[in-house]
Structures are given as C-alpha cells and as structure tokens.
Amino acid sequence: LQDRVILGAVGADNWAGGILEQQNDFDGERFITTPSVRKEMEGAYLGYALGFLQHHQKEFYAVGAPRYQHLGRVLLFEVNATSQNWTLKQEIKGQQTGSYFGGVLCTVDIDGDQETDLLLIGAQQYFTEMRGGQVYAYGWKEDNLILLGELNGDLGYPLGRFGAAITDLADINGDGQVDVAVGAPLEDEERGAVYIYNSHEKTLRMQYSQRITGATISPGLRYFGQSIHGKTDLSGDGLTNIAVGALGKVVVLQSRPIVNVATQVTFQPKEIPVKDVECSGDSKAWQNINLKLTICFINSFAIKSYSGHLSAKLLFHLEIDPDRVKYRGEFRNGNNVINGDKEISLGSVCILEEINITNCIEDYLSAIKLLVNLSLEEDGELKNGPPRPILNPLSNRTVVEIPFEKNCGVDEVCVTDLKIAFHSSGLLKKKKVAAIRLNLTTASLLSQSSAYILLRCQDDKGLACNVSHPIYRNSTKALIQLQFGVLADVAWTENLEMEVYVSSENEANDTLQNNKARHSIPVKYPINIIVNGLETSSHYVNFSSQQQENKTVTHSYKVSQCLQAFSQNKNS
C-alpha cells in the first residue's frame, strides 16, 4: 500500500499472533487483533499469511491463522477509509485437524478491474487416502465471501503438500485474464510439481490445464513448487516467464506461444436436395450428391504481444455424422473418416475435400454433421530457438452442420396447412374387418408423382401415426387405408363414431379448422330366417268324380329369426 505496510506478527501474545500496521515513514505503528476471539487464539499463528482485497470501493484484509484450534481459520477485516479502523467482518473455518488451513493466501483480480474476484486459501496438509493438500476458492456475495469450489492435485500423492504455494500469473493463455499456479513440492517422491489453472468468467476452471513436474525438468530437482512467481517477461518476447523455487535452485519456465485456429467450412451446394436422396418416386431418379468442401484454417497467436513467427504442422481429423452408427455420407476414400496434415503459418490456409451423400436416406430432417478435430504435431522441445507453439484447447474441435433443403421460401420458415377427408367402406356388419380411407393433403398447387409413404403407428387409447416421418413434403397428398378388426362380444350402438385429427408442429392456429374429420358408420346386425311347414297344413284333398265341389287347402308356415354372433371369430 502507498501509505503503510501491513505485517503479520505470528509470535505475538504467546503465538496467538496479530497484525502490525506500520506507516511508511516509520513514524508510527499499530498492533491489531480481535478481543472477541483473543482468548481462543493462543498458538493460532494469526498473521501467518496476509491478503489484500478490494470490493465495491472498500478495502479488506484476509489474515490466516493456520493453527487456530488445530483446524485453521481465516479472518476477513474491513478497513474504514476515513478512520482507518479495522472491523472483523467474517471468519472462515478450516475443515480438518492439522490441515494448516489459511497457511497460504492468494487474492486474484481476474480481469484487471481493480476489484478482487477470488480469495484462494491453501490447506497444504489436508489429507485423504489419495490426495495431499487442497486449495479453497472463495468469491464475493455482497460483502461476504462464499465457497465456489476446491482445487486438487492428481490422485496418488497423499503427502504431496498441494497448495504450499499459490500465486496469480500474468495471462499465459491469451484470454486477457490472469491465471493461477499452485505448487505441490512433495509430489512424485518429493520431486514436486506445479499446476496451472485458467480463469473463466470471474472465477477459475476447477480442472487444471497443465501439470509441470520437476522430474521432467531435471531428475535431480527436489521440492519443485515450494515457491512460485509468474508476472514478468524476462526474455522480452512478449510471453510470461514463471520462476519456480526448488531445493537450492530456482527454475525459470518459458511460456509456450498459444495458437488460435479458427475453422471455417463452406460447401457447395449449400443445401442437400432431398428429392435426390430420399427413397420415394422413380428409382431411376436417385443419384448420389457430391458436396465440395472448402475448409480454411485462420491462424493467429493468442498472446498479441508475442513477437515470434509461426511455423508448425497442423493435424486434422474429419468425421461425418460422428454420433451415428449409420452415417449418411463418405469421403473419397469410401469412409466417413479422413486424417491429414497441413503446414501452417500466420494467416489463412485451406484444404479441399469432397463428401458423397448416399441415396435412400431415411433421416433427411436433421442436418449432417461434420466434425473437425485439430492438433499440432509435437516433435519434442527445441534446445535452442523459440519455444514450440501449442494449440489453444478451445480451437481443437469444430462441428459444422450441412442442412437438407426445406423449400420454405426466402425466410426459410415452413408453414403447414393440412386438410383431411374421411371415408369408410359403408356399413359395419358381419365381416372380420372394416376399411377406412383417409385423404391427407398439404395445401399447394404443385403436383408430385405417386409414391409409397412411410407410416409408423402406435396403438394406445387411440391410433397415432407419423405420416412420412420426419418430413411430410410440400405439395403432396397421402391416401391412408386402415382396417379395423370387429369384436363380437361388445355392446354396439346403432352407429360407430370415429374421429380423425391431423396435426403438425409448425401449423398456425388459424388453419386448423380443416384438420379434423368425424364420420358415423351405421351398425347393422345380420339375421337368419328359417321357414318351417306346420303339421296343421293340409296333407292331401279328396275329390269325387261324380260331383263338382270346392274344398279348402290349408298351408301353415312358421317363420323364425335366428340371431347369431356378430362375428364368428371373437379374437378378430
């Protein structure tokens, strides 16, 4: 600070500790502690670590007491700008006995706006069976700090002392925000390691972006990561250098220039003609569609201040429909995958490829996806000369969609207007099936050749069918014939009422009036008529030849109605 120096006084008050505020002119000093917690502070080491924070034009100090009741504690003080009085605002407690919570503090202003965004608290002796050490990331909520997450080292180092050193770094990945380094000096059999974390939207990505081990630098290094500093460009090339302390040595690390590669893909034709690849119409009209691809890579350094040149080999991997078992296109090699490489420099470089879209595609609703994966060839580090570039992880994957044509006009918005007509075969009578014809039409003046359509139905409470899924093409009529089984063991009314409704996801409400049709089918029961002659009928008549006479002949009949089952097959 410009007008004073803040020091930790760890051994004061029988090692309870405290804070010593010293004026720059050494004219006066002030010892600061907190009476409300002083009785509990014996042996706490208050002042072991200090951090200065700015938030909403207020000044705060974070003060670590790593041995407070063996759990550790961090106290947050606010300093009044006028009276310079210190007020305890918040206490953050450790979670594990002996973890040394608060032994290391680091304040981070991620975007350089003079507002502290994060307070990182180290607990280097935090212990689990698989990890040793932990760093807690705290951020602001109003004027208090809340836990955002934890940073951890790799598994397998329970005594690694992760968090023994924490520091913010000048921007090393070119996103315009500061990054963070965490030391773990006892990892890898005390050879040590340093972890790099990148910032993201006012916080940190909790997964590290790089782990640098002391063994890869020099087999004889020990305690690599005990101290870290990384805010200076020592070589004058525009890249940050990181100084890392080890036992008896200081290692200076050179940042590698990060390359941004923007992938741009253009294709011709811009849309895949559906009529040439679907399985309807005249099969003689089917033909494969060849797409001409132009893939351009626009290359630049992420760190604009870097003064070096770019010369590297870019490795690319292209894949068609990567998430599908059955892909809908292939490259000239007859496969949906192709690999290659291209020498790149600053600026743009392009490659040309072709995709063959096979005919008889079932799904021509969702676009064909083209995956572009990139990497830079690694030939080992150069002993002399500039550092070898590395690809920005945000540049290594691009997914491009190649759409099918919609024929929806200039605005590319399809509006549906469906109509339906409903006809039946007549009476519902003693037959095993009843036939129904549905005419489904899209409103258009254009005509189409006849073809079979795809019909997929589900029988739940009603019959629901997808007509020509996924696309019911413009200017088409569909004739759908349905047959229903007739059950005999149900109570039938005089008429069977059937209702049919057609819908589309993109039809406007003002055109729905002709989307429903209702039809009444009369139900007629079949009967059998039996005519029997009765015994009371005249069997014969006697006439005499001597005389003329009239006699009555009686014929008696019985007409019977024999009702039968409505259908002989009750399972129909």
What's the CA gap between 240 and 498, in Å, rounded?
A: 77
- For the stretch 38-83, pLDDT in tens is 667 888 999 999 999 999 989 999 999 999 999 999 999 999 888 8
Residue 165 has pLDDT above 70, yes or no: yes
What's the CA gap between 211 and 204, in Å, rounded?
A: 16
pLDDT of residue 317: 97
| Residue 354: both structure tokens together | 């072709």
What's the CA gap between 224 and 218, in Å, rounded?
A: 10
Residue 94 has pLDDT above 70, yes or no: yes
pLDDT of residue 37: 54
Q: Report CA-CA distances (Å) from 94 to 105, 171, 392, 493.
A: 13, 31, 37, 78
The predicted model scores a pTM of: 0.69
Q: How many residues are given for the chain?
A: 572
Residue 156 has pLDDT above 90, yes or no: yes
**Pick from 345-359, 451-465, 546-560: least confident:** 451-465
- For the stretch 311-344, pLDDT in tens is 999 999 999 999 998 899 999 999 999 999 999 9
Residue 397 has pLDDT above 80, yes or no: yes
pLDDT of residue 150: 96
pLDDT of residue 144: 92
Q: Which of 419, 420, 473, 425 is nearest to 450 (CA)?
A: 473
**Residue at 458: amino acid letter:** Q
Q: pLDDT: is 384 or 466 the higher one?
A: 466
Alpha helices of 373-428 — where are they, by DSSP H?
none
Half-sphere exposure of 54 (CA within 13 A, CB side): 9
> Maximum Cα–Cα distance for the chain, whole Å?
174
**Residue at 4: amino acid letter:** R
- For the stretch 487-500, pLDDT in tens is 767 777 888 888 88
Residue 411 region by backbone torsions, left for phi larger than 0, else alpha for psi between -120 and 50, else beta: alpha
pLDDT of residue 357: 86
Residue 284 has pLDDT above 60, yes or no: no
Average pLDDT over residues 426-436: 57
pLDDT of residue 109: 95
Question: Are 83 and 45 a contacting pair, CB within 8 Å?
Answer: no
- Residue 379's pLDDT band, with cuts at 50, 70 and 90, is low
| β-pair partners for 197 | 180
**Pick from 152-166, 241-255, 353-367, 459-473: least confident:** 459-473
- For the stretch 120-142, pLDDT in tens is 999 999 999 899 999 999 999 98
pLDDT of residue 568: 40
pLDDT of residue 468: 61
Average pLDDT over residues 457-462: 70
What's the CA gap between 522 and 373, in Å, rounded?
A: 66
- For the stretch 39-49, pLDDT in tens is 678 889 999 99
| β-pair partners for 77 | 61, 88
pLDDT of residue 569: 40
What's the CA gap between 216 and 378, in Å, rounded?
A: 16
Q: Is 421 exposed, middle or buried (0-12, 13-18, 19+ CB in 10 A)?
A: middle
Q: pLDDT: is 307 or 415 the higher one?
A: 307
- Residue 444's pLDDT band, with cuts at 50, 70 and 90, is very low
- For the stretch 475-528, pLDDT in tens is 677 777 777 777 767 777 888 888 888 887 777 777 788 888 888 888 777 778
Q: pLDDT: is 36 or 448 the higher one?
A: 36
Task: Tell me the Cα Rg of the chain.
Answer: 43
Q: pLDDT: is 43 or 386 the higher one?
A: 43
Mean pLDDT of the chain: 84
% residues pLDDT > 90 (the chain): 47
